[in-house]
Amino acid sequence: MKKIINTIAALALPVVALAQGWPADYGGVMLQGFYWDSFTDTRWSKLEAQADELARSFDLVWIPQSAYCGGQSMGYDDLYWFTNYNSSFGTEAQLRSMIKTFKNKGIGTIADVVVNHRKTLGDWVTFPKETYKGKTYQLLPTDICRNDDAGSTLSWARDNGKELSQNNDTGEDWGGMRDLDHTSQNVQTNVLAYLDLLLNDLGYTGFRYDMVKGYHARYTGMYNAAVKPQFSVGECWDGSSTIAGWIANTAQGEGADGKIQSAAFDFQFRYTVRNAINQSDWSRLTADNDGNWPLVSNMPDGKQIPYLNDNAYRRYAVTFVENHDTERRANAEQDPIKADTLAANAYLLAMPGTPCVFLKHWQAYKPEIASMIALRKAVGITNTSTYGKSAASKDYYLGWTKGNNGRLVVMLGNTSATTPNKNNWAEVMSGYHYKFFLDRTMETAWVDRASGEYKNAFKAMLTAVSKTDDAQLVYTTDGSTPTAASTKAASGSTIDITQNMTLKVGMLIGGAVKGIVTREYTFEGGQSRPPFEPYDISIYVKDPGWNSLNFWCWVEGSDNLCTENKNWPGDLIMADGILQSAGKRKVINGSTFYYKTYTVKDYDYDIMFIFSGPEGKPQTLNLGPFSKDVYLELGDLQADGKYAAKDVTSTYGANAISDIKPESKVISTHYVDVAGRVSDTPFSGINIVVKRHADGSQSTTKIIN
């Protein structure tokens, strides 16, 4: 073993202070920057283009495994470790550019590390041979656990004159790819060199280890002790104290010196929130006034939650409410959170631990989640903060967290059921099934909308968080520091945000302005979009020849269902060839189409569909998004047993598209000069003329006045 550690030391690792798994008193927030099959949405170039926006809220972004896997893949069938980083998400150059840009913006990139198992080339036991920095790396058949795939691999190896390791797996067996024997010196050498490449060549900040129950925790401890990532989190997917045991056992690794070497995702936290929401029982979030969290009945093995109520582990809890696996609604066993997404995130971002926000939640509720993160950071909540309960029942939960800068109360469920003492708490933010209150001793102004780029106009609420009753607020919108002579507003009042501005708000107390907060608001073109006019679209499906036809639909990036029947498989359109009340039918050139009409309610209201037969089987892939009439017919059957669909709009419904949206007439015109000022009349000199159209689009031209 010493031989291996010395070999890796020869790689000239930089001297980095050992984070011992996860920094203590860490106040950062992480984004899971992908979801299942997010190949288009999370390409490296697309994520890099969002760096400025992400940097306002997130300190870490966890991205998919980034090496080539032999075809389109999310990376969990990892193949290459050293020589091929042209993956399903982009090229190696794009990957390096994104990581560098993130780093320059203050964001650390977390690599998805898959070393429990590995894909092979050509047969069951042949791994790629790769040369990196003049050294050749290759895993051998003898690096495969002897009991891999419950003995199937061993049988194949014997039949083909190959030999596996003499050692069984040190963790759980998993069928599908070859489980690696982490007791092997060759495996350890390859893994350590691979991790060194991720940190010190590609520039990752830390690791998310996949499927860590598949091998003993001591090896994660050994690897981290050698390469010293700033952050490490393991996917120990379990609903019991097994997770705490895994965290503790990382201290057993060689070089770990008896110290914990990795955090873990807090699946128990996730299950608790899911149960509270899906069972409509907010008391399941109950913590007592000492910060203990007695949720024994929620745990499959009847054991106590080990994280947030234990200072020894609180630091190592990476909390979350949904991820790429749990969210997959096509798999009912994952039991995703079906409602109250914002309330779930409100709880996540109010609690100790290091929160990891799911990308789909961020995309669907960006302004709200950004504001929650801003509030969390203003209070100074960290992974070791203390917390407790104020009140709770089936209908609501009221809890507090003490940060480095003050205290925060979060209320979930029926937010009108009770209210914290107004002498001590000021309401600063609210939404469906959630409210936030700040301790009035914080003595600060507050604006409930975070800085960011917006599309539509909105109202920002201003609050004076102060022990001084009726504290006066003063604000400016040009970036200047508020003074006693600035525009005044009462606490709880709102102002309309319709164009680019730097809003600064402070409290005027005793003639002095204090507790100033700043917000940077931008809009494309300098101004908000005009009010949206809802319109109808119809989705036509050519008769697939099934005994029945169901429509299941939702708004992309959210849990907002468009179906009248909210239970899978959704609206029954046709049964035994008979049209049902939920749908309509049209015959075009001898072809029968079933269709349903939906209302597009906002600019970003794009609708996704699954069409299915009796009791939801067979079914199509996820189809969409659609924001205009579309005609579809059944396509090829995929490997997972689901059907693709062909867009045949040009054949059957070419004339149905042009009349859907309002005419593209100009509804407003404004002028922008070189300094970025906006006016309804031209400036002297160079102007950018911005014309907005009724369909939401805009056109720009340059003129010299």
What is the SS3 string spanning 151-180? HHHHHHHHHCCCCCCCCCCCCCCCCCCEEE
- Per-residue pLDDT tens for 368-395? 999 999 999 999 999 999 888 788 899 9
Evaluate whether residue 167 is within a structural domain.
no
130: in domain: no
Selection from 35, 61, 28, 66 nearest residue 47 by Cα: 61
Work out the pLDDT band at 533, boundaries 50, 70, 90. confident
Give the CATH number for residue 542.
Answer: 2.60.40
- Tell whether 245 is covered by a domain: yes
Joined tokens for residue 334: 């994952």
The three-state DSSP-derived secondary structure of 608-619 is: EEEEECHHHCCE
Mind listing the pLDDT tens digit for each residue in 622-678?
Answer: 898 898 899 999 998 887 788 989 999 888 875 433 322 333 456 677 777 666 677
302 — pLDDT class (breaks 50, 70, 90): very low
Average pLDDT over the chain reads: 87
Task: Give the pLDDT confidence of 588-599 residue by residue, as tens digits.
Answer: 888 999 999 999
Domain hosting 189: range is 2-11+29-117+185-373
Residue 280 sits in the same domain as residue 411:
no
Question: Is there a single domain that holds both residue 64 and residue 194?
Answer: yes
Query: By the 8 A CB rule, do 131 and 196 touch?
Result: no
Task: Give the model's pLDDT for residue 699.
Answer: 60
Select from 637, 656, 675 the last residue of a domain.
656
The two tokens of residue 557 are: 């990036």
Residue 96 clears pLDDT 50, i.e. is over it: yes
Q: What is the pLDDT of residue 194?
A: 98
**Digit-coded pLDDT (tens) for 320-359:** 999 999 887 545 445 678 789 999 999 999 999 999 999 9
CB 678 within 8 A of CB 688: no
pLDDT at residue 305 greater than cutoff 70: no
**Judging by beta carbons within 10 Å of its beta carbon (0-12, 13-18, 19+), is residue 393 exposed, middle or buried?**
middle
| pLDDT band (50, 70, 90) for residue 5 | very low
226 and 86 fall within a common domain = yes
Residues 441 and 409 in one domain: yes
Phi, psi (5° rounding) for residue 72? -65, 125
Q: How far apart are CA 473 and CA 483, in angstroms?
A: 10
The crossing angle, in degrees rounded to 10, of helices 217-227 and 185-197 is 50
CA angle 261, 266, 269 (to 5 degrees): 155
Is the same domain home to 681 and 546?
no
Distance (Å, rounded) from C-alpha 394 to C-alpha 282?
Answer: 5
Q: Which of 152-156, 316-320, 334-338 has the lowest mean pLDDT?
A: 334-338
> Residue 346 sits in a domain of what CATH number?
3.20.20.80
The last residue of one of the domains, among 373, 395, 417, is 373
Task: Say what the pLDDT of residue 291 is.
Answer: 39
Q: Is residue 141 part of a domain?
A: no
The proportion of the chain whose per-residue pLDDT surpasses 90, expressed as a percent, equals: 68
**3-state DSSP call for residue 585?**
strand
Q: Name the strand (E) or helix (H) holding 44.
A: helix 44-48
Other Cβ atoms closer than 10 A to 700? 10
User: Is 147 part of any domain?
Assistant: no
Closest by CA position to 399, among listed 278, 517, 276 = 276
Identity of residue 664: S
User: What's the whole-number mean pLDDT along residues 455-474?
Assistant: 95
* 431 and 473, same domain (yes or no): yes
Say yes or no: 261 and 407 in one domain. Answer: no
Residue that finishes a domain, picked among 342, 373, 404: 373
Q: What is the mean pLDDT of residues 605-630?
A: 91
Answer yes or no: is 325 within a domain: yes
**Cβ contact 171:215 at 8 Å:** yes
- Asked if the structure places residue 661 within a domain, the reply is no
How many H-runs (helices) and E-runs (strands) does the chain carry?
A: 14, 39
Q: What is the DSSP string of 299-332?
A: STT-PPP-STT-HHHHTTEEE-S--TTTT-TT-G
Q: Which helix (H) or strand (E) holds 550?
A: strand 548-555
Does the structure show a pLDDT above 80 at 47?
yes
- Which of 155-164, 266-275, 588-597 comes out lowest in average pLDDT? 266-275
Burial tier of 248 (Cβ tally within 10 Å: 0-12, 13-18, 19+): middle
What is the per-residue pLDDT across 396-434, written as a single tens digit (0 to 9) for each? 999 999 999 999 999 999 999 998 999 999 999 999 999
Asked whether residue 500 falls in the same domain as residue 546, the answer is no
Number of domains forming the structure of the chain? 4
Helix, strand, coil proportions of the chain in percent (round to 5)?
25, 30, 45
Same domain for 485 and 455: yes
- 226: Cβ contacts below 8 Å, ≥ 6 apart: 5, 8, 9, 13, 192, 195, 255
Rg of the Cα atoms in the chain: 28
Q: How many angstroms separate the CA atoms of 393 and 419, rounded?
A: 14
Residue 125 placed within a domain:
no
If asked whether residues 359 and 479 sit together in one domain, one would say no
Tokens of 547: 């005994």
Structure tokens at 435: 């409210």
Q: Is the pLDDT of residue 493 over 50?
A: yes
- 562 and 688 fall within a common domain: no
Cα–Cα distance for residue pair 145/164, rounded to 1 Å? 7
499-516 residue pLDDT tens = 999 999 999 999 999 999
Do 332 and 267 belong to one domain? yes
The tens digit of pLDDT for each residue in 224-257 reads 999 999 999 999 998 777 888 899 999 999 999 9
- pLDDT given at position 662: 33
